[in-house]
Amino acid sequence: MIIDREPEQSAHARMGGRPLLLIVDDQPSNIQVLFSIFKDDYDVCMALSGEATFTFLEQRLPDLILLDVVMPEVSGFDVCRRLKGSERTADIPVIFVTANSDPEEEARGLVAGAVDFIVKPFHATVVKARVNTQLTVKRQADQLRAMAMVDGLTGVANRRRFDAVLEIEWRRAAREGGELAVIMIDVDFFKRYNDRFGHLEGDNCLRQVAGALQQRLTRSPDLLARYGGEEFVCVLPATGLNGALILSNELEQRVRALGLPHPDSEAAAVVTVSIGAAAGRPSEGGSAAALLANADTQLYCAKQNGRARVCGQNFSAQGQHGDPVDAAAN
């Protein structure tokens, strides 16, 4: 029986690879039977109670849960309702496993949020077919959700995705006592670029800028998103101000190195960006929006000081800020 084959924080949004199944049953013999059915095609994990299920879900999100109805302390119905009541786990399909073929119990499970029922004793072919069907449905839904989180023009994350990730990383850093940085990026004099070259070339410019920025973000937790118009934003977990400033200057230089002519810019002869960075240690009672606002203030500082440069500041969740840093890149 396998507890963890590969370290992953979330299987919920992954595409490709082996799906992760979580079997929840207080009887190890039942888990063993299901494990033997799925071990060759899926990664299989187990939990022996409802509370053990939620402990597991704090670390990993499976692609599907096979959930026993009758368990001590917390029933399968209660577990399912709690799963569906959480935004983080609501999209995980739940198949109830039961020895009771009573239609009323099945109806109760569907009302609780289950997608299917499997009746003991198990018929391997039927069980595999039902699980495969639900995984196919979930994979299609995940793909649609992923598309809804991508900016259609540049291919990077969109504002909706950024807002969600910033909130998640803020809570994580507050819980773990870690640092978090936000970088705001604005293409200098972009309206003038559009006016001279037209909106099609303007769109192409934004795509190239996004590509240059994305290539530098090599850590998997880091996120680049299009914030709106000609603005981009980065979320950098486990990053202090010094790290954010170093990265910001590299990003500014990468965009400049594209060499996109911009004769109407007052900052340089080519397309450049202004960048504002803010970093600090989030607190449980603080606000991710305040960190973002501080980065936006630093972006304004970069613009006021000549553009094509980087400004940054340490952020405190208690409202105290360090001195601004003008880290001019040009």
The pLDDT tens digits of the residues spanning 165-206 come to 999 999 999 999 999 999 999 999 999 999 999 999 999 999
Angle between helices 199-216 and 241-257 (to 10 degrees): 140
Same domain (yes/no): 128, 166? no
pLDDT for the residue numbered 65: 94
Same domain (yes/no): 37, 78? yes
CB atoms within 10 A of CB 135: 17
Same domain (yes/no): 126, 188? no
Same domain (yes/no): 136, 195? no
The parent domain of residue 258 ranges over: 159-326
Q: What is the DSSP letter of 157?
A: B
Q: Model confidence at 13, in pLDDT bands (50, 70, 90)?
A: very low
Same domain (yes/no): 83, 128? yes
Beta-strand relationship, 116-119 and 94-98: parallel
Query: Where is pLDDT greater, at 235 or 317?
Result: 235
Question: Given a cut of 70, is residue 118 above it in pLDDT?
Answer: yes
Beta-strand relationship, 231-237 and 273-281: unpaired
Spatial distance between the Cα atoms of 301 and 67, rounded to a whole number of angstroms: 54
Q: Model confidence at 100, in pLDDT bands (50, 70, 90)?
A: confident
Average pLDDT score over residue span 221-235: 96
Same domain (yes/no): 189, 279? yes
Q: What is the DSSP letter of 151?
A: -
Same domain (yes/no): 192, 292? yes
Residue 78 lies in a domain: yes
Same domain (yes/no): 72, 181? no
Query: Where is pLDDT greater, at 28 or 205?
Result: 205
Buried b (16+ CB within 10 A) or exposed e, 312-327: bbbbbbeeeeeebbeb
Residue 38 lies in a domain: yes
Which residues are catalytic, by number? 230
Question: Given a cut of 70, is residue 21 above it in pLDDT?
Answer: yes
Same domain (yes/no): 174, 313? yes
